[in-house]
Structure 1
């Protein structure tokens, strides 16, 4: 579903080029979940942006669902994001002028795959059934993040990219949102690539990789046992 082959990315700085990714190889299979960890500034978000086609590699190849990102123009990459990808960010990016229901339906409409039965199921599972006419500012942080997750999954994407999806939430809300996210991912069968700084958040996923100095390495994440 997602493949990086010897991907390199650098940015210009006053001190010269800063290499963020140095020959990264990564493979994510359909239905698999992968946590990407690393320190702030290690390049996690850069890798996620490359996977989404929001940026292009300097060298190497990124493939999503068999398509080489670099071979697509801007319109083609936008279509790929609309039809194949779901995106969830730490900042919720909800549309303030749209109700809960319309925010949830937005991505599915853009993809041409709106399904009223699936929308109703999502609202119920997200705990938002009684809040459909409210606007984002009338929701708690946890409710807003659940809505953002539902919007990304409404068109049933093949690949979900999540950047610190619980980073804004307290521990209790974060656990609830993460549990819901993983349950919906399993039920839809999509692959998940999630950026996180927390071993605790990474632990339930199938695999975890650590990004350090532009290179990926294995990382074993474990949850702290509950007393």
Structure 2
């Protein structure tokens, strides 16, 4: 579903090139879940943006659902995101002028895979039943993140990319949202790559890797024991 082969990425700075990713090899199979851990600034979000085609590699290859991302032009990468990927970020990115129901079904409608029964199921499972006509500003942060998760999963994407999806929530809301996310990812049949700094958030996923100094490796034993 997702493969990185010897991916390098750097950014220009006044002090010279800053190497962020240094020879990344990564494989994620269909239906599998993987947590990517690392300190702030370690390149986790950069890796996720490369997977989504929001940025391009310097050298190396990223393949999503059999398509080489770097060989696609921007319109083709946008179609890949629309048709194959679901994206969930810390910021909810809801459309203020759309109500809950329309926000949740927006991505599925763009992908021409709107399924009213599945959307109703998502709304029920996310605890949003009866709120379909409300607008984002009328909801709590936890409720807004639930809509963002439902929107990403409404088209049943082959791959869900999540960047610290509970980072802006309090501990109780974060735990509830994470449980819902993992349960609904399983129902949708999606693979999941989730960036997180938290061993507790990473614990329920199938695998966990740590990004350090631009390279991927296993979590250390102390982190594993906390999981």
Same structural fold, with TM-score higher than 0.5 when normalized by the shorter chain: yes
**Alpha-carbon distance between aligned partners in 2 of 1:198 and 1:44, rounded to the nearest angstrom:** 13
Cα RMSD over matched residues? Answer: 1.1
How many angstroms apart in 1 are the aligned matches of 2:213 and 2:45?
A: 14
Residue 188 of structure 1 deviates from its aligned partner by 1.1
The yes-or-no answer on 1:134 pairing with 2:96 is no
For residue 129 of structure 1, give the secondary structure of its aligned residue in structure 2: coil
Deviations 1:8-58 (A, max 9, x none): 000000110000000000000000000000000000000000000000000
* Aligned residue number for residue 30 of structure 1: 30
Correspondence 1:101-112 to 2 at 5 A: 101-112=101-112
Distance 2:128 2:226 in 1: 30
After the TM superposition, list the runs of 4 or more consecutive aligned residues in structure 1 that deviate by more than 3 angstroms: 220-225
Question: Post-superposition shift, 1:224?
Answer: 5.5
Is 1:212 aligned to 2:212, yes or no? yes
Alignment partner, residue 179 of structure 1: 179
What aligned pairs does 1:5-84 form with structure 2 within 5 A after superposition?
A: 5-84=5-84
**78 and 176 in structure 1: CA distance in 2 versus 1, 3 angstrom threshold:** same
Cα distance, 1:223 vs structure 2: 7.7
Q: 1:6, 1:23 within 8 Å by CA — same for their partners in 2?
A: yes
Partner of 2:154: 154
The alignment's TM-score, normalised by the length of structure 2, stands at 0.97
> In structure 1, the residue corresponding to 2:101 is in which secondary structure?
helix
Equivalent position SS for 2:48: helix
**What is the CA–CA distance in structure 2 between the aligned matches of 1:222 and 1:164, rounded to whole Å?**
19
CA contact (8 A) 1:200 1:223 kept: no
Q: How far did residue 219 of structure 1 move?
A: 1.4
Distance in 1, matches of 2:225 and 2:108, equals 34
**Corresponding position of 1:196:** 196
Q: Which whole-Å CA distance do the structure 1 matches of 2:216 and 2:161 have between them?
A: 18
The answer (yes or no) to whether the contact 1:89–1:164 under 8 Å persists in 2 is yes
Instruction: Give the Cα separation in 2 of the matches to 1:180 and 1:69.
Output: 30
- 1:90 is paired with a residue of what secondary structure? coil
Is the contact between residue 208 and residue 219 of structure 2 (CA under 8 Å) also seen in structure 1?
yes
Give me the TM-score of the superposition, normalised by structure 1.
0.97
Partner SS for 2:102: helix
Aligned residues: 225
Secondary structure in 1 matching 2:167: coil
- Contact 1:200–1:222 (Cα < 8 Å) also in 2: no
- What SS class does the counterpart of residue 168 from structure 1 fall into? coil
